[in-house]
Structure 1
Amino acid sequence: MKRILTLSLIVTMAFLFSGCKNGNKTQQKDINLDQPSFTQGEVAEPEEIAEEPVFKISTTKGDIVVKLYKETPLHRDNFVKLARSGYYDGMLFHRVIRNFMIQGGDPFTKQEGKEAQYGTGGPNYTIPAEIVPGKTHKKGALAAARRGDNVNPEKASSGSQFYLVQSEEGCKHLDGEYTIFGETISGLDVIDKIASVQTNNRNLPLEPVKIISVKEVKE
């Protein structure tokens, strides 16, 4: 549901996801967000980083372990920077659609009384698209949310919001449209658990699903 926010520097924008398969039936799923305006800035590079670092996303439903791709260094480094700073700790999965995806990364979800602004938060920058041929929206794919093409033809990514594909068949129609910067290597069952929770008409879980922490897994 679109909302008009009368906040300074906020404009109406949209993330659009549609057409994931559900069994033999195709369901159209649109996710419309109001998103604050961003400036595209340089992403700070962490001091030390593995080529393909691994992170454990601990949630109230269990742990999801993801590997970040070396082919998407801007998104990789940004996620590492935010995770190491504790940015994601305490956030909620604010948009959950069964047989599609689960979405998080909005700092407003850490604040009481901000439900109307869920989906609008993030750092004040975007990340240039790093769409890599061969990286697909398979189940467990980790990808960056973004504004719609009408206001974002360059397909630049949100500075913090991400989603994990839950559809068993994947969402191949999204390939080439959003930057996929990692994949799930453990915890697909946890993604399923999160996707199965009851939600309201804005796809917000009725029982909050919280990201407890995002920690780097050292070899």
Structure 2
Amino acid sequence: MRKILILLFTAFFVSIYGCSPKSNEPIVLIKTNHGNIKLRLYNETPAHRDNFLKLAREGYLDSTLFHRVIKDFMIQGGDPDSKGAEAGMHLGEGGPGYTLPAEFVYPAIFHKKGALAAAREGDRTNPEKRSSGSQFYIVQGKVFEDDKLTKIENQTREGKKRGIFNQLLTEYNDSLNVLQKIGDESKMMALQNKIMAEVNQKYGEEPEFSIPENIKEIYKTVGGTPHLDGSYTVFGEVIEDKCLMEKIGSMFGKRYGLEVIDLIAEEETDGRNRPLKDIVMEIKVIKE
């Protein structure tokens, strides 16, 4: 009996002191039927932080689903249209009617396993990479070897060069159309060469992209989705609590943190990556 009382007292003490957030960053809790996910929101991304807190306080995200789940990649939710959605219904286009400006803080903040990031529309319709007002994803990702990371570095460099080209192409589009209409191929070729020269010049003015060694080490051990860095806003991360209360909870079948991400990612999905069994969430603000 005495041992039980000591254990309970220790659990109570740790729940008050040992589990208290050590930073001034907000903490939120996502409750699911697979377990709880505790997240801290970064102060370095204030627009996304404040928006997520607002939605959580209002209950806007409660009863929404993790409607898009891809194993070894991520779990996505936050679509208000997913509340009570019928099986097979297409999801992923709902939101509060506004978007958020991108807040990239790479390489300080990146897509490691457990990263919380904002979903968004693609580059063609969204060149500014603005974030969805409510949809988000949590990275599961996978572990990468050196050759794969090198390939991602090369792809990122090509993507940057392509982005510069597309921007210049928009600026010279009218001139190209005029030359095409009159059939002046020599002037078209000269203008195209001029555009490529400007692309190479602008690209050369920037430092060549490479993944920092400390981040590579995390991608090679913990894992993540490095190809998303610099394209989607990461604004928080899963907290892996080591508190005694959570250890006790695990003894009784409760799951926390990254373990919950892995469980959700294992769910069977349909052709649109929607889990066949609804994964409903409830989000509460623990600390502002």
TM-score category by the smaller chain? Answer: 0.7 to 0.9
Q: Does residue 195 in structure 1 map to residue 265 in structure 2?
A: yes
1:79 aligns to what? 52
2:42 to 61, 64, 69: 69
> How many aligned residue pairs are there?
169
Q: What is the letter of the counterpart of residue 120 of structure 1?
A: E
Q: Does residue 214 in structure 1 map to residue 283 in structure 2?
A: yes
Asked which structure has the greater RCO (Cα within 8 Å, sep 6+), the reply is: 2
Partners of 2:102 and 2:65 lie apart in 1 by 25
Q: Is the 8 A contact 1:108 1:114 kept in 2?
A: no
Q: Is the 8 A contact 2:87 2:276 kept in 1?
A: no
Which structure has the highest helix share of the two? 2
Q: Is the 8 A contact 2:66 2:78 kept in 1?
A: yes
Which structure has the highest strand share of the two? 1
- Encode CA deviations 1:13-58: one digit per residue, 9 max, x unaligned: xxxxxxxxxxxxxxxxxxxxxxxxxxxxxxxxxxxxx951000100
Partners of 2:85 and 2:67 lie apart in 1 by 13
- Encode CA deviations 1:145-182: one digit per residue, 9 max, x unaligned: 00101011100000000000011321111100000000
Identity %: 59
2:91 aligns to what? 118
How high is the TM-score relative to the length of structure 1?
0.74
Change (3 A) 1:209 1:113: closer
- Encode CA deviations 1:159-207: one digit per residue, 9 max, x unaligned: 0000000113211111000000000003100000000000011100011
1:167 aligns to what? 141
1:177 aligns to what? 231
Deviation at 1:216, TM superposition (A): 1.4
- Kindly report which structure 2 residues correspond to 1:18-57, keeping only aligned pairs within 5 A, or say none: 51-57=24-30
**RMSD (Å), alpha carbons:** 1.6
Partners of 1:119 and 1:162 lie apart in 2 by 10
Q: Does residue 147 in structure 1 map to residue 217 in structure 2?
A: no
Between stretches 177-186 and 114-123, larger displacement belongs to: 114-123
Q: Is the 8 A contact 1:108 1:117 kept in 2?
A: no
How high is the TM-score relative to the length of structure 2?
0.57
Partners of 1:113 and 1:126 lie apart in 2 by 26
Partners of 2:228 and 2:80 lie apart in 1 by 25
Task: Give 5+ residue unaligned stretches, structure 1.
Answer: 1-49
Query: Which runs of structure 1 show a deviation greater than 2 angstroms over 4 or more consecutive aligned residues?
Result: 111-117
